[in-house]
Amino acid sequence: MEFPISSGIGARFEYLDEAGSTNDVLVTRATGPDAQAWPDLSVVVTDNQTSGRGRLGRTWLAPSGKSLAISVLLRPRLATGPLPANRYGWFPLLAGAAMTQAVRGVVEAATEVTVDTAADDSPRHEVTLKWPNDVLIDGYKVSGILSELLPDASGLCIGTGLNLALDEHDLPTLTSTSLLLVTGAVPDPDAVVAAYLTEVRDLTEAFLAAGADPVASGLHARVTALCGTLGAAVRVELPGGEDLIGTAVGLDPDGRLIVEEQATGELQAVAAGDVTHLRY
């Protein structure tokens, strides 16, 4: 598989025929004896990941050649020094916004072709970010993201899984989909990865240039605009096992989800949890 466009965006780009986990590969290389050879915005990609991981310890598997695993290394620093620890929480959201934009571009391009060649009532698809970092098409998951701090705290690795060409028999869950199923065609992998990397690069540069201020950089507004969780009735399974049921009403300055509790009307900020969009 060739990635001529994408390889020109990342500082270092490596495609692997197979990998257990692209995050594991990149973390090992970014912290090993050759770490200096893996600068900010280094990328590892495969279309055959055999031991992928998702959030909350879940496994992430897909048939060879039908999905992409993309890991991006970021070593963020401010002009004044190290990035404050509480600002690292914005990077999963940043990556989620970047992939939402990339997927939206693919879907919109396919829709434009359909409109030009078919009736005006051709289906329109809604591409949104589910907090904190899943990408949904019409409520079905097409991409998920797992961010991990490097063991030496010199940066973070953002791993993204994207369903490219899965058919109905390949889908891992009943709530999954793929770009093939939505658009009717397999998109150019290089074009999708390039669009994603461009968004990650540009959003990160703006975020750091603004002193990691999510509001001043426009990151807060971008994520808010893309996030389909906001305004939705949700159930959040909190790390302790309790459920929080209410309405997602916004994001706080640290990227936490603000939920108005159904029973009490109180606002609670959620830093981590498994979110389900409720439909009544």
Give a yes or no: residue 63 inside a domain: yes
Q: What is the pLDDT of residue 1?
A: 81
User: Predicted confidence band at 155 (pLDDT cuts at 50, 70, 90)?
Assistant: very high
User: Higher confidence at residue 271 or residue 58?
Assistant: 271
Among residues 256, 60, 38, which one has the least CA distance to residue 145?
A: 60
Question: 166: domain CATH number?
Answer: 3.30.930.10
User: Is position 152 within any domain?
Assistant: yes
pLDDT of residue 114: 56
Same domain, 81 and 17: yes
Predicted pLDDT at 179? 97
The answer to whether residue 86 sits within a structural domain is yes
208 shares a domain with 268: no
- For 74-104, the pLDDT digits (tens) are 999 999 999 988 899 999 999 999 999 999 9
Q: Environment class of residue 5 by beta-carbon count within 10 Å: exposed (0-12), middle (13-18) or buried (19+)?
A: middle
Q: Is residue 243 part of a domain?
A: yes
Is residue 114 domain-shared with residue 236, that is, in the same domain? no
* 82 and 188, same domain (yes or no): yes
53/108 same-domain check: yes
- State pLDDT tens for residues 114-123: 555 555 556 6
152 in the same domain as 27: yes
Instruction: Compute how many other C-beta atoms are within 10 angstroms of the C-beta atom of residue 100.
Output: 29
Q: Provide the pLDDT for residue 53.
A: 63
Q: What is the pLDDT of residues 198-208, one digit of tens each?
A: 999 999 999 99
SS3 state of residue 185: coil
Q: Do 116 and 208 have their domain in common?
A: yes
Percent of the chain past pLDDT 90, that is, above it, reads 76
164/58 same-domain check = yes
Mean pLDDT, the chain, integer: 91
User: 252 lies in which domain range?
Assistant: 230-277
Last residue of one domain, picked from the residues 225, 240, 263: 225
Q: CA 34, CA 22: separation in Å to the nearest integer?
A: 17
Is residue 1, in this structure, part of any structural domain at all?
no
pLDDT digits 0-9 by tens, 18-75: 999 999 999 999 999 999 999 999 999 999 998 766 554 556 566 788 999 999 999 9
In a domain, 273, yes or no: yes
Whether 89 maps to a domain, the answer reads yes
Residues 198 and 249 in one domain: no
Question: Can you give the pLDDT at residue 119?
Answer: 53
**pLDDT tens digit sequence for 188-200:** 999 999 999 999 9
| 280, pLDDT greater than 70 | no
My answer on whether 243 and 111 are in the same domain is no
CA dihedral for 31, 34, 40, 46, sign (positive or negative): negative
CA nearest to 133, candidates 146, 114, 151: 146
pLDDT class of 274 with cuts at 50, 70, 90: confident
Pair (31, 145) in one structural domain? yes
pTM score of the predicted model: 0.92
> Does 32 map to a domain?
yes
Number of domains in the chain: 2
> Quick one: 144 and 48 in the same domain?
yes
Residue 183: is its pLDDT beyond 70?
yes
- How many percent of the chain have pLDDT more than 70? 92
What pLDDT was estimated at residue 57?
A: 54
The answer to whether 102 and 199 have CB atoms below 8 angstroms apart is: yes
pLDDT at 117: 52
- CATH code for the domain in which residue 257 is found: 2.30.30.100
